[in-house]
Amino acid sequence: MSCYIPIMQTKKVEKSDTYYPSWLESLKKQIQAARARAALVVNTELIRLYHKIGLDIIKRQQMYYWGDKIIQRLAADLKTAFPDMKGFSTTNLKYMRYFAEQCPIGKIGQQPADQLPWFHIVTILTKTQQVNREWYAVHAIEQGWSRLTLEQNIKSQLHKRQGTVVSNFYKRLPAPQSALAQETLKDPYLFDFLGLADDAHEREIENALIRHISQFLLELGVGFAFVGRQYRLEVAGEEFFIDLLFYHTRLKCYIVIELKASTFKPEHTGQLNFYLSAIDAQIKTPDDRPTIGLLLCKSRNRIVAEYALRNVNSPIGVAEYKLMASLPKELKTELPSIKEIEARLAEM
């Protein structure tokens, strides 16, 4: 019997080999997407179950005048009935009851709680004031915060700092980008993780920020990608060096950060405006949006900064940075103390 293989069949095999990698990548993406959807469904069902258990505990304690010992008994019985399942400890059942008390319809403000992992919900409910809970729930979902990031943002009172930078964005950027740019930047930035004294020089701060780049990026927020430090520009044969250059993946633009270990002065905007013009002329591509500048100063007078930015052509924000190990008094007012949290849990 002949083993002759037609030439056309051989070409088809070659084509199959050529297109197989792209097909495999497509399937991998589909599987990953399906797994993500499945995980979301599982999380949704789990949160709804926890909420239902919490409501049941409240209802029966009120109906039969049961005390907290019933929760201990329920925890033991559920562990016996479902030995392979975690989450039925006495403490967690108390969290379920607290969840149901604080969110009777399963929402944190107007935000469905079942879009968040369970311990994100616990963190928000036990570490924030009620008026701020929806803000943290929304941002945790939109920006994909880990539990650690959520805790750090709550501790640093991010809701008071986000979007408060002095800027001219609404005059210098189109409407959609101006609002996003304003919301992206904050004031003040907290650099207590650097371990530097308040009298640290600019280069000391810059060096420390690079050594702690992961924490620096965490403080800057979602979307910042580090491009370089002391970024060299050449204009008309002269050299200039930008302190820190970033690209923001959501704003689709470069962000130039200049450090000033002093009080803000109006002339600082002139230097930064020059850097932004150079980046737009030499680095920015047609697909990039206008470059944004951020002046980080040891201190700044808000009115002076507003006046200084009024007639500046480039989009610039002016914010303070803090090197202190503890938070300023104005940022501490709504943080519950450890004793308050322990007392709150003891009452549950």
Dihedral of CA 279/284/290/296: which sign? negative
Structure-token pair, residue 218? 């965490």
0.85 exceeded by pTM: no
Comparing CA positions, the residue from 306, 207, 314 lying closest to residue 271 is: 314
Q: Across residues 13-29, what is the average pLDDT?
A: 70
* pLDDT tens sequence across 63-77: 988 888 999 999 999
* pLDDT tens sequence across 113-142: 999 999 999 999 999 999 999 999 999 999
Architecture in CATH of 161-326: 3-Layer(aba) Sandwich (3.40)
Express as a percent the part of the chain with pLDDT over 90.
Answer: 74
Q: Across residues 98-110, what is the average pLDDT?
A: 96
Q: Across residues 286-311, what is the average pLDDT?
A: 96
Outline where DSSP puts E strands in the chain.
107-108, 111-112, 166-167, 189-190, 224-235, 238-248, 253-263, 292-299, 316-322
pLDDT of 344 strictly over 80 = no
pLDDT of residue 26: 79
pLDDT of residue 189: 96
Structure-token pair, residue 289? 């949006």
Q: Across residues 262-287, what is the average pLDDT?
A: 96
Q: Of all residues in the chain, what percent are helix, strand and coil, respectively (each to 5)?
A: 55, 15, 25
Q: Tokens 């002759």 sit at which residue? A: 4
Domain spans of the chain?
A: 18-156+337-348, 161-326
